[in-house]
Structure 1
């Protein structure tokens, strides 16, 4: 089922300790099935992690209610266990990685701008009926 409201897009950044990159990748190949289920149950979808040189990690997901998704995972025993095991991989992080990652500000989205451009160029109902 799709939501009538556009999903919230969330992008975040973390820094993986360079000396732990290989182990970090290994731990995500694959992620525990029960953790995957918790992420989905929290309402996160289209979730990806991207790793750049030097350990810069960018994460992205979509959700209908990020506050509810965060609260669900904060209360999850499985997520707490997973995040406790992931915490040592990150530089300068206070708290659980899933709760303390630095969110990034979205400045451009192609679909949103195409929709806005189309709406701006479409005649309104009043203009259409006047013709």
Structure 2
């Protein structure tokens, strides 16, 4: 499973409304995300509008394509577009993907494998 972390920026004047809209996301949107392969999806919002998203998927390109094929996503993206700063494309197409540099479970798995083979760090 691939871990994906991304960043966007919410317009500061719209943070309260953006947050309100995410307290009860449309059921059809929730179903589409799940069916399209978006798992363990979370959004984190800083007081100045920095938005960090995280999800897990088998294939990012396929998950994005599957969402882009849904009518509910087109409606959701159209409604959300005005909340973001500096975007020329819909938010789900223009997020800045961050590079993962550490994961505890991966490190522990690697350590365990090295210990089993007698390698020392």
**1:74–1:99 CA contact under 8 A, matched in 2:** no
Q: Paired residue for 2:53? A: 59
Aligned equivalent of 1:79, options 73, 85, 91: 73
Q: Paired residue for 2:9? A: 15
User: How far is 1:66 from its partner?
Assistant: 1.1
Q: Paired residue for 1:43? A: 37
State which structure, 1 or 2, has the greater radius of gyration over its C-alpha atoms: 1
Count the aligned residue pairs.
118
Q: Does 1:114 align with 2:112?
A: no
The answer for unaligned runs of 5 or more in structure 1 is: 1-6, 125-131
Which secondary structure does the structure 2 equivalent of 1:83 belong to? helix
Post-superposition Cα deviations, 1:72-91, rounded to whole Å, max 9, x if no partner, equal: 11111110100010010000
User: How far is 1:123 from its partner?
Assistant: 3.0
**1:45–1:63 CA contact under 8 A, matched in 2:** yes
Runs of 4+ aligned residues of structure 1 deviating over 2 Å after TM superposition are none
* Higher relative contact order (Cα pairs below 8 Å, separated by 6+ residues): 2
CA distance in 1, matches of 2:68, 2:31: 15
The answer for unaligned runs of 5 or more in structure 2 is: none
Q: Paired residue for 1:3? A: none
